[in-house]
Chain A
Amino acid sequence: NMALMELASLEKSLGFKKANKYSTQGNNKTPILQSNKGAPLIGLVTIASHLVQEAAQPELLGRTAEQRAVVRQWLEYRVTQLDGCPKEDIRSILKELNQYLEDKVYLAGSDFTLADILLYYGVHHIMADLSVQEKEQHMNLSRWFDHIQHYPGIRQHLPLVVVLRNRLYTGGHH
Protein backbone atom coordinates (compact mmCIF):
# COMPACT_ATOMS: atom_id res chain seq x y z
CA ASN A 1 0.00 0.00 0.00
CA MET A 2 1.46 3.28 -1.21
CA ALA A 3 -0.10 5.52 1.44
CA LEU A 4 1.31 3.39 4.25
CA MET A 5 4.80 3.46 2.73
CA GLU A 6 4.53 7.22 2.42
CA LEU A 7 3.50 7.61 6.03
CA ALA A 8 6.42 5.43 7.10
CA SER A 9 8.79 7.60 5.04
CA LEU A 10 7.24 10.76 6.42
CA GLU A 11 7.71 9.52 9.98
CA LYS A 12 11.38 8.92 9.24
CA SER A 13 11.86 12.35 7.66
CA LEU A 14 10.18 13.95 10.66
CA GLY A 15 12.60 12.14 12.95
CA PHE A 16 10.20 9.69 14.60
CA LYS A 17 12.19 7.06 16.49
CA LYS A 18 9.41 4.52 16.66
CA ALA A 19 7.12 3.72 13.73
CA ASN A 20 3.35 3.95 14.19
CA LYS A 21 1.08 1.06 13.30
CA TYR A 22 -1.46 1.59 10.54
CA SER A 23 -4.34 -0.28 9.03
CA THR A 24 -6.54 0.55 6.04
CA GLN A 25 -10.24 0.68 5.27
CA GLY A 26 -12.49 0.62 2.23
CA ASN A 27 -11.85 0.14 -1.49
CA ASN A 28 -9.46 3.06 -1.57
CA LYS A 29 -7.35 1.51 1.18
CA THR A 30 -7.60 4.70 3.19
CA PRO A 31 -4.97 4.66 5.95
CA ILE A 32 -6.01 4.57 9.61
CA LEU A 33 -3.78 5.53 12.51
CA GLN A 34 -4.82 3.83 15.72
CA SER A 35 -3.76 6.25 18.42
CA ASN A 36 -3.56 5.34 22.06
CA LYS A 37 -5.04 8.70 23.02
CA GLY A 38 -8.53 8.22 21.68
CA ALA A 39 -10.34 7.93 18.37
CA PRO A 40 -8.39 6.63 15.37
CA LEU A 41 -7.38 9.10 12.67
CA ILE A 42 -8.45 8.35 9.12
CA GLY A 43 -7.09 9.66 5.81
CA LEU A 44 -3.64 10.37 4.38
CA VAL A 45 -3.81 14.16 4.68
CA THR A 46 -5.29 14.11 8.17
CA ILE A 47 -2.73 11.63 9.47
CA ALA A 48 0.21 13.35 7.76
CA SER A 49 -0.84 16.75 9.18
CA HIS A 50 -1.22 15.17 12.61
CA LEU A 51 2.30 13.66 12.42
CA VAL A 52 3.74 17.06 11.49
CA GLN A 53 2.08 18.61 14.56
CA GLU A 54 3.29 15.77 16.75
CA ALA A 55 6.84 16.29 15.49
CA ALA A 56 6.50 19.94 16.56
CA GLN A 57 7.10 21.19 13.01
CA PRO A 58 3.82 23.09 12.44
CA GLU A 59 5.59 25.40 9.96
CA LEU A 60 5.36 22.47 7.50
CA LEU A 61 1.61 23.12 7.41
CA GLY A 62 2.18 26.79 6.53
CA ARG A 63 3.17 29.83 8.54
CA THR A 64 0.12 32.02 7.92
CA ALA A 65 -3.58 31.30 7.42
CA GLU A 66 -3.12 32.04 3.71
CA GLN A 67 -0.18 29.69 3.39
CA ARG A 68 -1.99 26.98 5.35
CA ALA A 69 -4.90 27.30 2.91
CA VAL A 70 -2.56 26.90 -0.06
CA VAL A 71 -0.93 23.86 1.58
CA ARG A 72 -4.35 22.28 2.26
CA GLN A 73 -5.39 22.94 -1.29
CA TRP A 74 -2.44 21.06 -2.77
CA LEU A 75 -2.86 18.25 -0.25
CA GLU A 76 -6.47 17.93 -1.39
CA TYR A 77 -5.35 18.11 -5.02
CA ARG A 78 -3.01 15.23 -4.31
CA VAL A 79 -5.69 12.91 -2.87
CA THR A 80 -8.59 13.94 -5.10
CA GLN A 81 -7.01 14.67 -8.46
CA LEU A 82 -3.67 12.95 -8.62
CA ASP A 83 -4.54 9.69 -6.83
CA GLY A 84 -6.50 7.34 -9.03
CA CYS A 85 -6.19 9.73 -11.95
CA PRO A 86 -7.05 7.98 -15.24
CA LYS A 87 -4.07 7.71 -17.63
CA GLU A 88 -5.58 10.10 -20.14
CA ASP A 89 -5.78 12.88 -17.53
CA ILE A 90 -2.17 12.67 -16.34
CA ARG A 91 -1.00 15.07 -19.07
CA SER A 92 -3.36 17.75 -17.89
CA ILE A 93 -2.19 17.35 -14.28
CA LEU A 94 1.47 17.59 -15.32
CA LYS A 95 0.66 20.68 -17.35
CA GLU A 96 -1.16 22.33 -14.45
CA LEU A 97 1.63 21.64 -11.98
CA ASN A 98 4.25 22.76 -14.47
CA GLN A 99 2.47 26.04 -15.08
CA TYR A 100 1.79 26.64 -11.39
CA LEU A 101 5.45 26.08 -10.51
CA GLU A 102 6.68 28.48 -13.17
CA ASP A 103 7.40 31.25 -10.66
CA LYS A 104 7.65 29.24 -7.44
CA VAL A 105 10.33 27.35 -5.58
CA TYR A 106 7.84 25.33 -3.56
CA LEU A 107 4.10 24.71 -3.81
CA ALA A 108 3.35 27.22 -1.06
CA GLY A 109 5.77 29.77 -2.49
CA SER A 110 9.12 30.27 -0.82
CA ASP A 111 8.65 27.80 2.06
CA PHE A 112 9.01 24.04 1.95
CA THR A 113 5.84 22.38 3.30
CA LEU A 114 4.00 19.09 3.67
CA ALA A 115 2.37 19.79 0.30
CA ASP A 116 5.78 19.38 -1.38
CA ILE A 117 6.40 16.11 0.45
CA LEU A 118 3.06 14.46 -0.36
CA LEU A 119 2.91 15.74 -3.91
CA TYR A 120 6.45 14.50 -4.47
CA TYR A 121 5.41 11.03 -3.21
CA GLY A 122 2.28 11.21 -5.36
CA VAL A 123 3.94 12.12 -8.67
CA HIS A 124 7.03 9.97 -8.19
CA HIS A 125 5.75 7.02 -10.24
CA ILE A 126 4.63 9.38 -13.01
CA MET A 127 7.95 11.24 -13.15
CA ALA A 128 9.85 7.94 -13.15
CA ASP A 129 7.98 6.92 -16.31
CA LEU A 130 8.53 10.15 -18.26
CA SER A 131 11.06 10.26 -21.08
CA VAL A 132 13.90 12.76 -20.97
CA GLN A 133 12.06 14.83 -23.55
CA GLU A 134 8.81 14.81 -21.57
CA LYS A 135 10.67 15.91 -18.46
CA GLU A 136 12.11 18.79 -20.45
CA GLN A 137 8.65 19.74 -21.66
CA HIS A 138 7.67 20.06 -18.00
CA MET A 139 10.75 21.95 -16.98
CA ASN A 140 9.34 23.74 -13.92
CA LEU A 141 7.81 20.57 -12.55
CA SER A 142 11.04 18.65 -13.15
CA ARG A 143 13.10 21.34 -11.45
CA TRP A 144 10.77 21.31 -8.42
CA PHE A 145 10.73 17.51 -8.36
CA ASP A 146 14.53 17.30 -8.46
CA HIS A 147 14.76 19.89 -5.72
CA ILE A 148 12.40 17.91 -3.44
CA GLN A 149 14.01 14.52 -4.08
CA HIS A 150 17.32 16.05 -2.96
CA TYR A 151 15.77 17.78 0.03
CA PRO A 152 17.41 16.24 3.14
CA GLY A 153 15.54 13.20 4.45
CA ILE A 154 12.62 13.27 2.04
CA ARG A 155 13.35 10.65 -0.63
CA GLN A 156 13.72 7.70 1.79
CA HIS A 157 12.77 4.43 0.06
CA LEU A 158 12.03 5.97 -3.35
CA PRO A 159 14.49 5.56 -6.22
CA LEU A 160 16.18 8.69 -7.53
CA VAL A 161 14.66 9.91 -10.80
CA VAL A 162 17.22 11.26 -13.23
CA VAL A 163 16.49 14.86 -14.11
CA LEU A 164 18.96 16.48 -16.50
CA ARG A 165 19.77 20.04 -15.65
CA ASN A 166 20.93 20.96 -19.10
CA ARG A 167 18.55 20.80 -22.01
CA LEU A 168 19.13 18.06 -24.54
CA TYR A 169 16.33 19.04 -26.82
CA THR A 170 15.85 22.50 -28.18
CA GLY A 171 12.93 24.16 -29.85
CA GLY A 172 9.53 24.98 -28.47
CA HIS A 173 7.90 21.58 -28.46
CA HIS A 174 4.79 21.87 -26.28
Chain B
Amino acid sequence: MSEMKLFVSDGNPHCLKVLAVAELTGVKCDICHASDDERLVPFLSHPVRPVLLLPCGQHLFKANPICLYFLEVSGRDVCDLTSQWLEWEAAELQPALMQALYQCVLLGKMTEAANTLEGHLTYMEQRLSKGATPFLAAEEATVVDIVLWAALYPLLSNSSFLPDKLQCVARWFEQVNALPVCQTVAQRVQQQKSLESLKRFLQKQPLPPARCRNAPLCN
Protein backbone atom coordinates (compact mmCIF):
# COMPACT_ATOMS: atom_id res chain seq x y z
CA MET B 1 0.00 0.00 0.00
CA SER B 2 2.88 2.35 0.73
CA GLU B 3 3.78 2.22 -2.95
CA MET B 4 0.75 4.31 -3.83
CA LYS B 5 1.45 7.89 -4.79
CA LEU B 6 -1.19 10.58 -4.78
CA PHE B 7 -0.35 13.71 -6.75
CA VAL B 8 -2.29 16.81 -5.77
CA SER B 9 -2.13 20.52 -6.44
CA ASP B 10 -3.35 23.58 -4.56
CA GLY B 11 -6.75 25.15 -5.07
CA ASN B 12 -8.23 22.19 -6.90
CA PRO B 13 -11.53 21.02 -5.34
CA HIS B 14 -11.01 17.52 -6.76
CA CYS B 15 -7.81 17.24 -4.74
CA LEU B 16 -9.72 18.28 -1.64
CA LYS B 17 -12.05 15.32 -2.30
CA VAL B 18 -9.34 12.69 -2.45
CA LEU B 19 -7.39 14.12 0.49
CA ALA B 20 -10.52 14.10 2.65
CA VAL B 21 -11.51 10.58 1.61
CA ALA B 22 -7.96 9.33 2.23
CA GLU B 23 -8.30 10.85 5.71
CA LEU B 24 -11.78 9.32 6.20
CA THR B 25 -10.77 5.82 5.14
CA GLY B 26 -7.34 5.90 6.70
CA VAL B 27 -5.74 4.64 3.48
CA LYS B 28 -2.04 5.40 3.43
CA CYS B 29 -0.38 6.85 0.38
CA ASP B 30 2.50 9.19 -0.35
CA ILE B 31 1.06 12.61 -1.02
CA CYS B 32 3.11 14.56 -3.53
CA HIS B 33 2.56 18.14 -4.56
CA ALA B 34 3.24 18.42 -8.24
CA SER B 35 3.25 21.50 -10.37
CA ASP B 36 0.02 21.86 -12.34
CA ASP B 37 1.80 21.88 -15.67
CA GLU B 38 3.59 18.61 -15.25
CA ARG B 39 2.04 15.82 -17.29
CA LEU B 40 1.85 12.74 -15.09
CA VAL B 41 -0.48 10.59 -17.15
CA PRO B 42 1.29 9.87 -20.43
CA PHE B 43 -1.82 9.32 -22.59
CA LEU B 44 -3.81 12.39 -21.52
CA SER B 45 -3.53 15.54 -23.63
CA HIS B 46 -3.75 17.89 -20.64
CA PRO B 47 -2.22 17.68 -17.18
CA VAL B 48 -4.85 16.73 -14.58
CA ARG B 49 -4.94 16.52 -10.80
CA PRO B 50 -5.41 14.52 -8.70
CA VAL B 51 -3.58 11.50 -10.04
CA LEU B 52 -3.16 8.27 -8.11
CA LEU B 53 -0.32 6.04 -9.19
CA LEU B 54 -1.39 2.51 -8.28
CA PRO B 55 1.05 -0.17 -7.11
CA CYS B 56 0.53 -1.94 -10.47
CA GLY B 57 1.82 1.14 -12.32
CA GLN B 58 -1.57 2.26 -13.68
CA HIS B 59 -2.71 5.85 -13.26
CA LEU B 60 -6.09 6.84 -11.92
CA PHE B 61 -6.86 10.35 -13.11
CA LYS B 62 -10.42 10.93 -11.92
CA ALA B 63 -11.16 12.00 -8.37
CA ASN B 64 -14.37 10.05 -7.74
CA PRO B 65 -12.97 6.67 -8.82
CA ILE B 66 -9.92 7.39 -6.63
CA CYS B 67 -12.27 8.06 -3.69
CA LEU B 68 -14.15 4.80 -4.30
CA TYR B 69 -10.86 2.93 -4.62
CA PHE B 70 -9.82 4.22 -1.18
CA LEU B 71 -13.21 3.09 0.12
CA GLU B 72 -12.77 -0.42 -1.28
CA VAL B 73 -9.18 -0.72 -0.10
CA SER B 74 -10.37 0.14 3.41
CA GLY B 75 -12.71 -2.85 3.23
CA ARG B 76 -16.02 -1.23 2.35
CA ASP B 77 -18.34 -1.95 -0.55
CA VAL B 78 -19.66 0.56 -3.03
CA CYS B 79 -23.46 0.48 -3.07
CA ASP B 80 -25.85 1.70 -5.79
CA LEU B 81 -26.74 4.84 -3.86
CA THR B 82 -23.08 5.85 -3.50
CA SER B 83 -22.46 5.21 -7.18
CA GLN B 84 -25.55 7.22 -8.06
CA TRP B 85 -24.56 10.29 -6.07
CA LEU B 86 -21.01 10.27 -7.42
CA GLU B 87 -22.24 9.87 -10.98
CA TRP B 88 -24.60 12.81 -10.42
CA GLU B 89 -21.75 14.84 -8.98
CA ALA B 90 -19.45 14.15 -11.95
CA ALA B 91 -21.94 14.25 -14.81
CA GLU B 92 -24.57 16.75 -13.68
CA LEU B 93 -23.20 18.95 -10.91
CA GLN B 94 -19.61 19.48 -12.15
CA PRO B 95 -20.41 21.24 -15.44
CA ALA B 96 -22.69 23.71 -13.63
CA LEU B 97 -20.25 24.02 -10.76
CA MET B 98 -17.33 24.93 -13.02
CA GLN B 99 -19.48 27.62 -14.57
CA ALA B 100 -20.55 28.89 -11.14
CA LEU B 101 -16.98 28.96 -9.85
CA TYR B 102 -15.93 30.85 -12.94
CA GLN B 103 -18.71 33.38 -12.41
CA CYS B 104 -18.11 33.76 -8.70
CA VAL B 105 -14.35 33.55 -8.36
CA LEU B 106 -13.09 35.03 -11.60
CA LEU B 107 -15.91 37.43 -12.48
CA GLY B 108 -17.00 38.24 -8.94
CA LYS B 109 -20.66 37.60 -9.74
CA MET B 110 -21.99 35.69 -6.77
CA THR B 111 -25.70 36.07 -7.57
CA GLU B 112 -25.21 34.72 -11.07
CA ALA B 113 -23.23 31.82 -9.70
CA ALA B 114 -26.03 31.06 -7.24
CA ASN B 115 -28.54 31.11 -10.09
CA THR B 116 -26.39 28.74 -12.13
CA LEU B 117 -26.39 26.22 -9.31
CA GLU B 118 -29.95 26.72 -8.13
CA GLY B 119 -31.40 23.65 -9.84
CA HIS B 120 -28.69 21.36 -8.54
CA LEU B 121 -28.80 22.67 -5.00
CA THR B 122 -32.58 22.40 -5.01
CA TYR B 123 -32.24 18.77 -6.04
CA MET B 124 -29.98 18.19 -3.02
CA GLU B 125 -32.42 20.09 -0.81
CA GLN B 126 -35.26 17.82 -1.93
CA ARG B 127 -33.21 14.68 -1.39
CA LEU B 128 -32.20 15.82 2.09
CA SER B 129 -35.64 16.98 3.15
CA LYS B 130 -37.39 13.84 1.88
CA GLY B 131 -34.64 11.47 2.98
CA ALA B 132 -34.82 9.59 6.21
CA THR B 133 -31.20 10.27 7.08
CA PRO B 134 -29.35 13.46 8.04
CA PHE B 135 -26.62 12.76 5.48
CA LEU B 136 -27.01 12.10 1.77
CA ALA B 137 -26.65 8.33 1.81
CA ALA B 138 -26.71 7.15 5.44
CA GLU B 139 -27.15 7.97 9.12
CA GLU B 140 -23.54 9.03 9.22
CA ALA B 141 -21.32 10.87 6.81
CA THR B 142 -20.03 8.71 3.95
CA VAL B 143 -17.80 9.20 0.95
CA VAL B 144 -20.81 10.78 -0.81
CA ASP B 145 -21.03 13.62 1.70
CA ILE B 146 -17.28 14.16 1.62
CA VAL B 147 -17.12 14.33 -2.18
CA LEU B 148 -20.01 16.79 -2.41
CA TRP B 149 -18.67 18.84 0.49
CA ALA B 150 -15.30 19.16 -1.23
CA ALA B 151 -16.86 20.00 -4.59
CA LEU B 152 -19.07 22.73 -3.10
CA TYR B 153 -16.58 23.94 -0.48
CA PRO B 154 -15.22 26.93 -2.42
CA LEU B 155 -18.76 28.35 -2.73
CA LEU B 156 -20.63 27.11 0.34
CA SER B 157 -17.87 27.95 2.82
CA ASN B 158 -19.06 31.50 2.22
CA SER B 159 -22.20 31.34 4.36
CA SER B 160 -23.97 34.07 2.39
CA PHE B 161 -23.85 32.04 -0.83
CA LEU B 162 -26.88 29.83 -0.15
CA PRO B 163 -30.36 31.35 -0.47
CA ASP B 164 -32.43 31.07 2.74
CA LYS B 165 -34.84 28.54 1.30
CA LEU B 166 -32.14 25.87 1.01
CA GLN B 167 -32.05 25.20 4.73
CA CYS B 168 -31.42 21.48 4.54
CA VAL B 169 -28.39 21.97 2.29
CA ALA B 170 -27.09 24.66 4.65
CA ARG B 171 -27.50 22.40 7.67
CA TRP B 172 -25.96 19.44 5.82
CA PHE B 173 -22.95 21.49 4.73
CA GLU B 174 -22.39 22.77 8.26
CA GLN B 175 -22.50 19.25 9.66
CA VAL B 176 -20.11 17.80 7.11
CA ASN B 177 -17.84 20.80 7.37
CA ALA B 178 -17.58 20.26 11.13
CA LEU B 179 -16.35 16.68 10.75
CA PRO B 180 -12.77 16.23 11.93
CA VAL B 181 -11.62 14.86 8.56
CA CYS B 182 -13.00 17.88 6.74
CA GLN B 183 -11.59 20.30 9.28
CA THR B 184 -8.15 18.74 8.99
CA VAL B 185 -8.11 18.89 5.23
CA ALA B 186 -9.75 22.32 4.97
CA GLN B 187 -7.17 23.79 7.34
CA ARG B 188 -4.38 22.38 5.24
CA VAL B 189 -5.92 24.02 2.19
CA GLN B 190 -6.52 27.35 3.96
CA GLN B 191 -2.87 27.59 4.78
CA GLN B 192 -2.14 27.53 1.09
CA LYS B 193 -4.03 30.77 0.42
CA SER B 194 -7.00 28.95 -0.99
CA LEU B 195 -8.61 31.71 -3.04
CA GLU B 196 -5.49 32.59 -4.99
CA SER B 197 -4.77 28.97 -5.79
CA LEU B 198 -8.41 28.34 -6.72
CA LYS B 199 -8.16 31.24 -9.18
CA ARG B 200 -5.05 29.77 -10.71
CA PHE B 201 -6.77 26.37 -10.95
CA LEU B 202 -9.80 27.89 -12.67
CA GLN B 203 -7.70 29.88 -15.11
CA LYS B 204 -6.13 26.65 -16.31
CA GLN B 205 -9.44 24.90 -16.92
CA PRO B 206 -11.08 24.82 -20.32
CA LEU B 207 -13.54 27.71 -20.60
CA PRO B 208 -17.05 26.95 -19.35
CA PRO B 209 -19.83 26.51 -21.91
CA ALA B 210 -20.53 29.26 -24.40
CA ARG B 211 -23.61 30.64 -22.67
CA CYS B 212 -21.36 31.64 -19.79
CA ARG B 213 -18.42 32.75 -21.90
CA ASN B 214 -20.60 35.03 -23.98
CA ALA B 215 -21.95 36.82 -20.94
CA PRO B 216 -20.54 40.35 -20.82
CA LEU B 217 -17.37 40.39 -18.78
CA CYS B 218 -17.96 43.86 -17.39
CA ASN B 219 -20.28 44.50 -14.48
Contacts and interface: CB of A to CB of B under 8 A. Distances in A.
Interface in A51-95: 65-66, 68-70, 72-73, 76-77, 79-80, 83, 92, 95
Interface of B, helix, strand, loop or mixed by DSSP? helix
A99 B87 contact: no
A81 to B, nearest CB: 9
Nearest to A61: B78
Given A69-B65, A72-B64, A99 B92 contact: no
Contacts of B88: 42-43
Given A41-B80, A69-B65, A30 B92 contact: yes
A26 interface: yes
A43 B91 contact: yes
Interface of B: 42-45, 54-56, 58, 60-62, 64-66, 68-69, 72-73, 80-81, 83-84, 87-88, 90-92, 94
B22 to A, nearest CB: 14
Interface of A: 26, 28, 30, 39, 41-46, 49-50, 65-66, 68-70, 72-73, 76-77, 79-80, 83, 92, 95-96, 99-100, 102
Given A46-B80, A76-B90, A92 B64 contact: no
B58 A70 contact: yes
Given A30-B92, A65-B73, A45 B56 contact: no
Nearest 10 interchain pairs by C-beta: A69-B69, A99-B43, A43-B87, A72-B65, A100-B43, A73-B65, A65-B72, A46-B84, A46-B83, A79-B91
Contacts of B66: 69
Contacts of B68: 68-69, 72
Contact of A46 (B43, B60, B87): B87
8 contacts: A28-B92, A39-B81, A42-B84, A72-B68, A76-B62, A76-B64, A80-B91, A96-B44
Contacts of B56: 66
Given A76-B90, A80-B90, A41 B84 contact: yes
Given A70-B58, A73-B60, A79 B87 contact: yes
Nearest to B81: A39
A122 to B, nearest CB: 13
From A49, A66, A77, A79, name the one whose CB has the most chain B CB atoms within 10 angstroms: A66
Contacts of B91: 28, 30, 43, 76, 79-80, 83
Nearest to B69: A69
Contact of B42 (A28, A50, A73, A99): A99
Name the residue in A46, A96, A99 with the highest tally of chain B Cβ atoms < 10 Å from its Cβ: A46
A76 B92 contact: no
Contacts of B69: 65-66, 68-69, 72
A49 B83 contact: yes
A49 to B, nearest CB: 6
A46 B87 CA distance: 7
Contact of B45 (A68, A72, A73, A95): A95
A29 to B, nearest CB: 12
Contacts of A77: 62
Given A49-B83, A95-B45, A79 B90 contact: yes
A129 B54 CA distance: 36
A89 to B, nearest CB: 8
B92 A50 contact: no
Contact of B83 (A26, A45, A73, A80): A45
